[in-house]
Copies of this chain bind each other. A is one copy, B any other.
Amino acid sequence: MGAKVVTHIERVDAATIAGLAQAGVATVHEAQGRTGLLASHMRPIYSGARIAGSAVTISAPPGDNWMIHVAIEQLKEGDILVLSPTSPCEDGYFGDLLATSAMARGCIGLVIDAGVRDVRDLTQMGFPVWSKTVFAQGTVKATLGSVNVPVVCAGVMVNPGDVIVADDDGVCIVPRETAVAVLEKAREREANEEAKRARLRAGELGLDIYNMRGRLAELGLRYE
């Protein structure tokens, strides 16, 4: 159970990842059976980012960001760092220097169930972060953690190489093994929604489109 770094992880192909980014969090979450959503306290530091990438995971002690340096060496182009502290923490593990380093190694974003700082700089750099809070509190480099091991982040199991999808709605995890199938379902869902959107926009009611009136009456809904 000691501290370790797994240097080789499997990743999903780039096209699938791009497709999941384009589908977005809500659609992907639905497409995989309403699973994979990180807790609602995970919010973006700025609006409008919409990304997907392979998870490089970090299990770090509270208030200790040493392992982020270790993780950055493991990054490949298009990866997303995912940090889960070993106990609840709000400290600012990550700021503009680490973002500079991570971006230089291909990283496109950070998901952290703790705090982040230098958010003005990160915004200007276009480096999106989904975090529990914004907090400038500094951290130490004293205790080991692990990189690329399974972690539970904000209530969801994340394995290294899983696809992270993140946008203004939050963050959703797609297990590596099912990513292709989930993308397919997401596309079906989108196609299906497009037709419904047009009918709803025209003023048709969901009650009619989805044939709900019968079941509502059967369950006893009364109109007064």
Decide if A78 is an interface residue (CB 8 Å cutoff). no
For A180, the chain B residues whose CB sits under 8 A away are none
A14 within 8 A of B: no
A24 / chain B contacts, CB cutoff of 8 Å: 120
- How many copies of this protein are present in the complex? 6
Report if A144-B220 is in contact (Cβ < 8 Å); known contacts: A152-B152, A200-B97.
Answer: yes
Q: Which residues of B contact A2 (CB under 8 A)?
A: 33, 220, 222
Query: Which residues of chain B are within 8 angstroms of A1 by Cβ–Cβ distance?
Result: 32-33, 35
The verdict on A72 contacting chain B, using a C-beta distance below 8 Å, is yes
A 134-158 binary contact with B (CB < 8 Å = 1; else 0): 1111101111100000101001110
Q: Which residue of B lies closest to A44 (CB)?
A: B134
Near B by CB (< 8 A), chain A positions 164-208 give: 167-170, 172, 193, 196-197, 200-203, 205-207
Contacts of A35 on B, CB cut-off 8 Å?
A: 1, 86
| A10-36 interface (Cβ within 8 A of B) | 24-26, 29-30, 32-35
Where the two chains meet, the residues of A that have a C-beta atom closer than 8 Å to any C-beta of B are: 1-7, 24-26, 29-30, 32-35, 37, 39-40, 43, 47-48, 50, 61-64, 66, 69-70, 72-73, 86-92, 95-98, 100-101, 103-105, 115, 117-120, 123, 133-138, 140-144, 150, 152, 155-157, 167-170, 172, 193, 196-197, 200-203, 205-207, 210, 212, 216, 219-224
